[in-house]
């Protein structure tokens, strides 16, 4: 952890950079990030591991020793920042340098210019916007999510995609989906939605706070991060061939008209899908069952 002492005595800005994000994209933007922060008091909270970095960030936020936290990387780094800054007065700035960058996209932030992203964060640091978060809990513990928490076929695909080294970029998720689909038969969910019990036979269920994930897949086009509810996205049980036909439409949002697709707006959602993985903004957070609730205004984010 290192500090840059420039500035006028105000609290420094905490910075966490993931050099491995976006298959090395994070490392390439490092110089641009520090160049755009020249003249600002900063403290480098990056660690040798994800765990060390989030502990550094959480400690700085808890101690109120930083004026803002800027994370540099993909949606995994945003997940780190969200879980460090949730329910605090420290705003989160995002410099997109990952593969998908869905969080930056939905917030209207630059995704291909690190210096511009830093300038955007600095410009909004004193007047951040409040956004809702999903508070989730699995057997592994509690967490917060800005975008989507999935517990089903999409989470299984995410797990496979994370293990793959080819192809590069968002297309890796699509290849992983086809590979998993060859043996997938659907999931039986036991759910409790705002207190009402319901059994669902589905291909997947995901709790969405924003409209896209997985590198631009608009799973819940109507989801908003400041409306006080989450959108439960359900794809009811269908054939593998039908799912393959629907899948391309998710990039434009045209899948919403299919009769197998359902959305339920709710504040508290419990999903039990057996021993399936749960992913929050692309990060593994445990196994089903999953409990979520929406927390209005839980995060302050440096965005226009």
Q: Is the pLDDT of residue 238 over 90?
A: yes
84-113 pLDDT tens trace: 999 999 999 999 988 778 999 999 999 989
Task: Give me the pLDDT at residue 51, please.
Answer: 92
pLDDT at 25: 61
Question: Would you say 304 and 121 are in contact if contact means Cβ atoms under 8 Å apart?
Answer: no
Q: How far apart are CA 156 and CA 218, in angstroms?
A: 18
Give ranges for CATH 3.40.50.10330 in the chain: 2-127
Stated pTM of the model: 0.90
Fold annotation for 135-298: Tumour Suppressor Smad4 (2.60.200)
Residue 1 reports pLDDT greater than 60: no
- pLDDT level of residue 171 (50, 70, 90 thresholds): confident
Q: Is 236 helix (H, G, I), strand (E, B) or coil?
A: strand
Instruction: Reply yes or no on whether the pLDDT at 182 is more than 70.
Output: yes
Greatest CA span in the chain, whole angstroms? 63
pLDDT above 70: percentage of residues in the chain: 93
CA distance 255 to 233: 11
Sign of CA dihedral 160, 162, 164, 169: positive
Q: Are 43 and 14 in contact (CB under 8 A)?
A: yes
Fold type of domain 2-127: Rossmann fold (3.40.50)
The pLDDT-based confidence of 177 (bands split at 50, 70, 90) is: confident
- Residue 7, pLDDT above cutoff 50: no
Task: Using CA atoms of 191, 196, 201, 203 in order, give the dihedral in degrees to the nearest 10.
Answer: -60
**Cβ 70 vs Cβ 45: under 8 Å:** no
Through-space distance between the first and last CA atoms of the chain, rounded to whole angstroms: 29
73 Ramachandran zone, left/alpha/beta (phi>0; psi -120 to 50): left
Judged by average pLDDT, the poorest of 6-15, 59-68, 204-213 is: 6-15
- Tell whether the model's pLDDT for residue 228 goes beyond 70: yes
Residue 58: is its pLDDT beyond 90?
yes
Cis amide bond preceding 14, omega within 30: no
- Average pLDDT on 258-281 reads 95
- Please enumerate in sequence order all residues whose Cβ is within 8 A of that of 89, keeping only pairs 6 or more positions apart, or say none: 64, 300
* Total residue length of the chain: 304
Q: What value does the mean pLDDT of the chain take?
A: 90
pLDDT of residue 88: 98
Mean per-residue pLDDT for 132-148?
Answer: 97
| pLDDT the model gives residue 178 | 80
Every domain of the chain with CATH number 2.60.200.40 lies at 135-298
Tens digit of each residue's pLDDT (9 = 90 or more) over 21-53: 655 666 678 999 999 999 999 999 999 899 999
Instruction: Please report the DSSP string for 178-200 in residue order.
Output: HHHHTT---EEEEEEETTEEEEE
Give the model's pLDDT for residue 176.
81
| CA distance linking residue 157 with residue 260, whole number of Å | 20
């Amino acid at each position: 952890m290192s500090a840059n002492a420039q500035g006028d005595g105000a609290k420094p800005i905490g910075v966490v950079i993931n050099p491995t994000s976006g298959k090395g994209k994070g490392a390439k933007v490092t110089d641009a990030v520090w160049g755009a922060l020249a003249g600002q008091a900063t403290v480098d909270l990056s660690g040798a591991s994800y765990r060390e970095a989030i502990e550094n960030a959480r400690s700085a936020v808890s101690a109120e020793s930083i004026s803002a936290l800027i994370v540099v990387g993909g949606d995994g780094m945003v997940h780190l920042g969200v879980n460090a800054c949730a329910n605090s007065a420290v705003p989160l700035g995002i410099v997109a340098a990952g593969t998908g960058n869905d969080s930056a996209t939905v917030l209207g932030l630059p995704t291909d210019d690190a210096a511009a992203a830093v300038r955007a964060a600095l410009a909004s640091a004193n007047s951040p916007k409040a956004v809702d978060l999903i508070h989730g809990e699995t057997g592994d513990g509690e967490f917060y999510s800005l975008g989507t928490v999935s517990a089903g076929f999409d989470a299984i695909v995410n797990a496979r995609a994370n293990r793959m080294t080819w192809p590069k970029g968002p297309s890796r998720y699509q290849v992983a989906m086809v590979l998993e689909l060859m043996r997938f038969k659907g999931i039986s969910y036991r759910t409790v939605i705002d207190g009402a019990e319901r059994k669902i036979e589905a291909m997947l269920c995901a709790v969405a706070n924003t409209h896209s994930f997985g590198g631009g897949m608009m799973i819940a086009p109507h989801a908003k991060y400041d409306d006080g509810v989450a959108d439960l996205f359900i794809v009811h049980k269908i054939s593998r061939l039908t799912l393959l036909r629907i899948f391309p439409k998710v990039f434009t949002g045209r899948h919403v008209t299919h009769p197998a697709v359902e959305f339920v707006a709710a504040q508290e959602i419990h999903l039990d899908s057996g021993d399936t993985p749960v992913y929050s903004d692309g990060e593994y957070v445990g196994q089903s069952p999953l409990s979520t609730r929406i927390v209005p205004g839980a995060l302050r984010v440096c965005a226009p």
